[in-house]
Amino acid sequence: MSAAPRMPHPGRTSAERRALDRIGCGEPPACAQKTLRNLLDAGLIVDVGTETRRDAPGEYRIPAYAVPIPVHMAWCSAVAATDEEMAAFEAELEDLR
């Protein structure tokens, strides 16, 4: 019997997790404004201005976001954590609520 895969970013919605993963990998978030606002308010991402892109009709700008280094380091640590370490971390989060 295999264990269920551990979800990264405990305490976040699936849309927030997907957007945070995309931004952490340097991709556009591809999510609703509410999702972005939640991540910005939590300090998990920062607004870094705009990115200029070009297509056949011309240039256009899109908002750009980044993951702060401490958040990225915590994300990497969570991914590298053992199941026991992650369970302890999630228990600590529950105690904070």
**Domain boundaries of the chain, sorted by first residue:** 14-96
From the list 7, 68, 13, 16, the residue with the least C-alpha distance to 43 is 68
pLDDT at 8: 60
pLDDT in tens, the chain (97 residues): 445 555 566 678 889 988 988 998 888 899 999 999 999 999 999 999 998 989 999 999 989 999 999 988 887 777 676 778 778 888 888 887 6
Locate tokens 């705009």: which residue? 50
pLDDT at 82: 74
pTM of the model: 0.68
For residues 56 and 60, what is the distance between their CA atoms, to the nearest angstrom?
A: 11
Q: Which residues are paired to 53 by β-bridges?
A: 60
pLDDT at 1: 42
14-96 maps to which CATH number? 1.10.10
